[in-house]
Structure 1
Amino acid sequence: MNKTRKLTGVILAGGASRRMGGQDKGLVRFRERPLVAWVIDALAPQVDEILIIANRNLDAYRAFGHRVISDLRPDFPGPLAGFEAALTHASHDWILTCPTDAPLLPAEYACLMSRAALGSAAVAFVDAHWQPVFSLLPKTALPSLSAALDTGERKAQRWLASIDPVLVTLDEYAAQLRDADTPEDLTAL
């Protein structure tokens, strides 16, 4: 793969998983393997490092052989807190995010995002909707993100809009970017 920049791949596994009945989504099984294993296998060849953002079952996530980082803020404040932890701990100047419950992640995800963005932050745009958990972010966005979280911001799309990202249309990958928020979603995958 011809990457345009060094990337830290970030798997967002830190949520409370309320719609999945409180189960830790990354460890829920899909086709005989935990969801996070599928995402690691898809993302690892595309990036230079993987970080898993998790707030519980840390040893289970560490068993996959990648650094595991927890949110810097308590009480599961959402994907923005995961972005903040990743931007704080990433070894590279850019992070590429995806949720732990997207086991069909495209093999060309990093290239698609990097080539479209060229030096700007980027967010996947599918079926005329922002997909904030599929983002490409520079470390330079960290001060803005931390300030937004300090004021109580929890809406990923609102903060992302404030940094004027490139919207990367990925309609042809809609099925591969679907996530499994509920047991029914997982069955549908």
Structure 2
Amino acid sequence: MIAGVILAGGLSQRMGGGDKCLLPVGGRPILAHVIARLAPQVGMLALNANGAPARFAAFGLPVLPDSVGDFPGPLAGVLAGMDWAARGGAELLVTAAADTPFFPETLVAELRAAARAEGLPLAMAVTRNASGGTDRHPTFGLWPVALREELRATLAAGQRRVVAFTEPRGCARAVFPQAVPDPFFNVNAPEDLAAADAFIAAASR
């Protein structure tokens, strides 16, 4: 069984604070779009978020706070997800960002295929860019739950960068093609909300 965790533990500073995943896009909260895409791909699903969990009650997901203080970033959410997945008997965890409503519906399958093809324990989503290289999306990853104690120690040592944890342990690349909208388009600022609404409106015509 593969567990999924949606990462919503950040401070949303560029949106002025608050829960940007609850902002509406196409008439629904961004989080609703994320759940609709990830839930069919995993055996169990939770949300990593800090603060009062009741504000997410309508979505019916377990809410996992960071187990590490001072908002150390996505790795803290990954660790919370790993601990929860381990309790549920899952060996693998897939993470997705809560502010990204268009990510691929084949995310989990592509991450697993990349890890198997390269013989590596971890996998990360990347997309091709205009210059012929790739752009990394480190919050969209495949994580063996068995690495949770290593991750706990890494965070305790003050390391917060996702890539600094994944690269030394072997991280495959799941390459996704360019598309419109960008599959990993994320809502960081108010103008991004308008862009996301426009994408959805165009798709419904």
> Quick check: TM above 0.5?
yes
Question: What is the count of residue pairs matched by the alignment?
Answer: 184
Task: Decide which moves more: 143-152 or 172-181.
Answer: 172-181
Q: Indicate the residue corresponding to 1:125 in structure 2.
A: 126
TM (normalized to structure 2)? Answer: 0.85
2:8 is equivalent to residue 13 of structure 1? yes
Displacement, 1:63? 2.2
Q: What is the 5 A alignment of 1:44-83?
A: 44-83=39-78
Q: Indicate the residue corresponding to 1:135 in structure 2.
A: 141
Q: How large is the Cα RMSD of the aligned pairs?
A: 1.5
2:190 is equivalent to residue 188 of structure 1? no
- Contact kept, 8 Å, 2:93 with 2:144, in 1: the verdict is yes
Q: Indicate the residue corresponding to 2:152 in structure 1.
A: 146
| Structure 1: gaps (5+ residues) | 1-5
Letter in 1 for 2:145: K
- Contact kept, 8 Å, 2:121 with 2:169, in 1: the verdict is no
Q: Name the SS of the counterpart of 1:172 in structure 2.
A: coil
Displacement, 1:39? 0.4
Distance in structure 1 (CA, Å) of the matches to 2:105 and 2:126: 17
- Contact kept, 8 Å, 2:94 with 2:141, in 1: the verdict is yes
Aligned-pair identity (%): 35
Q: Indicate the residue corresponding to 1:42 in structure 2.
A: 37
Q: Indicate the residue corresponding to 2:105 in structure 1.
A: 107
Distance in structure 2 (CA, Å) of the matches to 1:94 and 1:139: 5
CA offsets per residue over residues 154-186 of structure 1, 9 Å max, x none? 111111112211111113357121111111222
Q: Indicate the residue corresponding to 2:169 in structure 1.
A: 163
Displacement, 1:56? 2.5
| Structure 2: gaps (5+ residues) | 197-205
TM (normalized to structure 1)? Answer: 0.91
Distance in structure 2 (CA, Å) of the matches to 1:181 and 1:93: 32
